[in-house]
Structure 1
């Protein structure tokens, strides 16, 4: 199986920035309605649990809305008893016990609703993270080259967390609020249709007020999360390139850029919350107007004998419970707007163009032999801008093919095409006679091992890192054997915990050469049919390079090897040296043949080995 090292990044001008340089703002208006509906559709797999959430909420609300009516009847009973033959205390006690029972039942159902809602939201958040992870695995290399890593990290972590928090509050509060509105309205109409109309008179004003303020706040939430992504990207770049930032004296510029983004995030967040935060006070004011109207009209109805004091008491309580959910929903407007803004950023990632799908009936070669053929291959990143044109090359099993040439000649692009990190735009590449375009990418890469100039290690032990490219359990003996063969064993045993030494993601504590030796050992252990070495020895010292070259000679026996190198001393013994220039093969042959030809290779060789002036 292929050791999954990260490929060297090649592609259309990536949007990368040097330390302390500004990132371009890329923002667009949020379609709140469409994105909100799509966010709700992510809950579709939880239909059964959602139904249970609604049922529990409806039960809790039903029990809660009956309580004021019972209390109103108890008030009437007290008033009637005080004016007549005395208060019926047993009946009053039964009413109070009923109210307590209803409150206990409502609380129990609320607990069930909260627990079910939490389950629904967390499962939905888990699915979103899974979709984002699977999406990243299917994205083409060009997309990842064009996106700052901090921006992608922000979308897959901060934004998804914000979405789950929004859904949690929406399910646990808005469902109950909306059901309470319906239940309370029914009871209000049952007590007094006239007072119900009075209570509803201010609802349009509340809706218009909340909508107008919300429209002003929404762009600020879009900007807030866009700036959050840029800030994360800046922090990630500064941490990754900390040595370069310090070495080039850009620390103050990096801090200034961080402060600038921090101020921008503060301003966007402040404006978003300040504007959205005015919704609740505005609706509270409208609700107070409603209380005044109800008190005036209710008092007149009591004076005329149409309503009892208990009915008016119950209605005032219902009015409070009616305006409470309205204010609560309005108060959640900022949370909803922020959550939907984050959801759109996540959906943008999930909607990004993917790699072309693998064929439905993939071709599979026989036992791997390692014959690789490029047949009239053409490739271009942008239409109309050719990079590789009509390239033909054949590597026989066991043959070592060195690919050399000036920077930008297309050497690594050739390897990326072989690995199907990019798809050819013309011609074809065959592996043991089978067109790689007709194979699954997994099958193509399973027979190819890569060791790149840029090392990649993950958080774990050294033994785990070496065994990364081999499926299943790998014995310690095989791991040690691979390390010994690649001359990594000698430095590993000098570490305090040896092969059980835990590394972080950057392999801190190891030199660049030591990290490279671990990745070389990883490739050795995978035992691929085709081996790709992209400047694999550029980070090791001269003595180690000689040792690794000897080890690679034994590894390459019976395997096809592609060696990309700038140092021509590492490719003298190659069976075939291919010199690339401008995306095409300028010349090919053995070391002696190319020197005798006096062409591009001879010029490169003379430049590298010319005596110092």
Structure 2
């Protein structure tokens, strides 16, 4: 959604974030007023000095007025300092609040939102767009208020001193205002394009850096380089357009200011030569300062308005995310303090989009303490069941119960605390092994982590690393092998002592040694605990209490390993025989 030239509703919404900082807000306004008064007072004192003390050669009066001008300059400097410092301080506190609120809102989204929202775009909204909002206060709103106040006070002084010379300046102002308005409209469009191109570039770079292994494996460096050049060129053109507009506007504004000053000097000079008592040399001296103080803010208001406009555009983008309520997960009220682990899917229908159902009326029951396995071809809906159990997505119809309680009624945080999951694609943060295991949970001590690691046979492997449990695995755990990452993820699940354990393809991409460790650990951790194992490698689930066979979103077979093997031409038997033949 594109922002208007000036969106009043959006502006009021931004100003609401100043409420916790009212004293500072009004303090900035007060210093803006003082700044405008002190700034306009200096040229007036200069006129008095020239006419009343320099021309009559009054040395005592000259020193007095020079001292007064020094005091006014000092007060103006102090006002400028506090005005700029408090305005920027206010802006930074406001974006701190908005960024916190935005991140909290992003954390509340369902997984469906992240399926279609580019990561680079979310990063742009959370970082650079919010930084731009701060400029509304540091470079936009208060600077504009200060400039307008300064212009009003300057005009009052000018009319008081010499209304004839002032009208010459007034007649020139509409021309500059008209040119400024055209410039502002052009820049608003240009800045919108700049923000779009920045978001596109962030998205592209983030995806390519994350997927650099794929880029290099498939020799796509040249292709991706050409794509980047194209995106970079569009970004460059967007900025060049803003540079062009600035290059045209500011010289024109300078010419208008200089011509106005020339007209004032010419008009005032002739009147002085003619002996006109209403115009003095002091007037001409002070007007050379007044015109700059009047025209420079008017010229800069366009630039500052553009800063504010960029902040408004950025705020519009950020608020678009904050207003995305349809993708926010609805939290329940029931606290899942400890679950027995009885799970029931009742005629569950689900789709990731409106085109095709992934699950087609699933009915499934898992008893407390059972270990069940779910098998089937890729796309059969195995992992979808896990996603729904964790409430990453909301089902289309049907219901899911844990201990006869609808999972929608559970408080989300407490529900997920009772479910531990080990995924095939393990994500590790750029942090120590210990912090990746505990995820900075203060309730899990280092001693508990070490004890758990010893129980499942991971302690020896961790101690061989430099620093042991304090070893930094770097971004996404690149310093570890895929098998080692799986072991860390398994230990992460174990130390949380979950009521329900889920292993989603947890041994599909690891070496035989790591698999042996996990198999041993699986026996310990699944004992007397409801466990769900999703696996392609059927050898890992032969001892499950029950095996669920899925195909195209439906349960097609159900039973123990031995029972399913007895079914001639059965789906599971064919799958097992084909896999056994391949492995042998």
Query: TM tier, shorter chain?
Result: over 0.9
Mapped contact 1:280–1:331 kept (Cα < 8 A): no
1: CA distance, partners of 2:109 / 2:474: 26
Runs of at least 5 residues in structure 2 that lack an aligned partner in the other structure: none
Shift of 1:36: 5.2
CA deviation vs aligned residue, 1:64-120 (integer Å, no higher than 9, x gap): 211211111111123651xxxxx2221221111111111111111211112211210
Match of 1:379 in 2: 350
Match of 2:311 in 1: 339
1:317 aligns with 2:292: no
2: CA distance, partners of 1:604 / 1:364: 41
Q: 2:320 is matched with which residue: 335, 345, 348?
A: 348
1:57 aligns with 2:44: no
1: CA distance, partners of 2:137 / 2:218: 46
Shift of 1:453: 0.7
Match of 1:610 in 2: 581
Match of 1:468 in 2: 439
Shift of 1:551: 1.1
Question: Which secondary structure state, in structure 1, belongs to the residue aligned with residue 465 of structure 2?
Answer: coil
Decide whether aligned partners of structure 1 residues 42 and 293 sit closer, same or farther in structure 2, where only a CA change above 3 A counts: farther
Match of 2:298 in 1: 326
Shift of 1:245: 1.2
Match of 2:469 in 1: 499
568-577 vs 336-345, greater mean Cα deviation: 336-345
1: CA distance, partners of 2:466 / 2:475: 19
CA deviation vs aligned residue, 1:423-451 (integer Å, no higher than 9, x gap): 11211111112111112211221110111
2: CA distance, partners of 1:61 / 1:235: 46
2: CA distance, partners of 1:245 / 1:205: 55
Decide whether aligned partners of structure 1 residues 328 and 219 sit closer, same or farther in structure 2, where only a CA change above 3 A counts: closer
2: CA distance, partners of 1:308 / 1:445: 82
Shift of 1:137: 0.3
Decide whether aligned partners of structure 1 residues 207 and 45 sit closer, same or farther in structure 2, where only a CA change above 3 A counts: farther
Decide whether aligned partners of structure 1 residues 93 and 79 sit closer, same or farther in structure 2, where only a CA change above 3 A counts: closer
Mapping for residues 67-216 of structure 1, pairs under 5 Å: 67-78=42-53, 80-81=55-56, 87-165=57-135, 167-170=137-140, 173-216=143-186
Decide whether aligned partners of structure 1 residues 38 and 210 sit closer, same or farther in structure 2, where only a CA change above 3 A counts: farther
Match of 2:451 in 1: 481
Question: Which secondary structure state, in structure 2, belongs to the residue aligned with residue 502 of structure 1?
Answer: coil
Mapping for residues 371-520 of structure 1, pairs under 5 Å: 371-383=342-354, 385-468=356-439, 471-520=441-490
Q: 1:249 is matched with which residue: 210, 219, 223?
A: 219
2: CA distance, partners of 1:246 / 1:549: 34
Shift of 1:354: 4.6
Match of 2:491 in 1: 521
Match of 1:31 in 2: 4
2: CA distance, partners of 1:196 / 1:604: 93
CA deviation vs aligned residue, 1:552-604 (integer Å, no higher than 9, x gap): 11111121111111111111111111111121211211111122223221221
Mapped contact 2:351–2:358 kept (Cα < 8 A): yes
Match of 2:230 in 1: 260
Shift of 1:232: 1.8
Decide whether aligned partners of structure 1 residues 465 and 111 sit closer, same or farther in structure 2, where only a CA change above 3 A counts: same
Shift of 1:298: 3.0
37-46 vs 570-579, greater mean Cα deviation: 37-46
Number of residue-to-residue matches in the alignment? 579
Question: Which secondary structure state, in structure 2, belongs to the residue aligned with residue 610 of structure 1?
Answer: helix
Q: Taking structure 1 as the reference length, what is the TM-score of the superposition?
A: 0.89
Question: Which secondary structure state, in structure 2, belongs to the residue aligned with residue 460 of structure 1?
Answer: coil
2: CA distance, partners of 1:298 / 1:362: 79
Question: Which secondary structure state, in structure 2, belongs to the residue aligned with residue 527 of structure 1?
Answer: coil
Shift of 1:422: 0.6
2: CA distance, partners of 1:39 / 1:278: 32
1: CA distance, partners of 2:328 / 2:87: 38
Q: Taking structure 2 as the reference length, what is the TM-score of the superposition?
A: 0.93
Question: Which secondary structure state, in structure 2, belongs to the residue aligned with residue 363 of structure 1?
Answer: coil
385-394 vs 429-438, greater mean Cα deviation: 385-394
Decide whether aligned partners of structure 1 residues 254 and 523 sit closer, same or farther in structure 2, where only a CA change above 3 A counts: same
1: CA distance, partners of 2:44 / 2:209: 63
Match of 2:541 in 1: 571
Shift of 1:201: 1.8
Mapped contact 2:113–2:327 kept (Cα < 8 A): no
2: CA distance, partners of 1:592 / 1:605: 11
Shift of 1:247: 1.4
Decide whether aligned partners of structure 1 residues 403 and 155 sit closer, same or farther in structure 2, where only a CA change above 3 A counts: same
Cα RMSD (Å) of the superposition? Answer: 2.2
2: CA distance, partners of 1:251 / 1:486: 42
1: CA distance, partners of 2:410 / 2:160: 70
Mapped contact 1:399–1:561 kept (Cα < 8 A): yes
134-143 vs 338-347, greater mean Cα deviation: 338-347
Decide whether aligned partners of structure 1 residues 331 and 371 sit closer, same or farther in structure 2, where only a CA change above 3 A counts: same
Question: Which secondary structure state, in structure 2, belongs to the residue aligned with residue 160 of structure 1?
Answer: helix
2: CA distance, partners of 1:47 / 1:171: 15
Runs of at least 5 residues in structure 1 that lack an aligned partner in the other structure: 1-27, 82-86
Mapped contact 1:50–1:120 kept (Cα < 8 A): yes
Mapped contact 1:579–1:587 kept (Cα < 8 A): yes
2: CA distance, partners of 1:340 / 1:285: 31
2: CA distance, partners of 1:311 / 1:421: 74
2: CA distance, partners of 1:280 / 1:338: 19
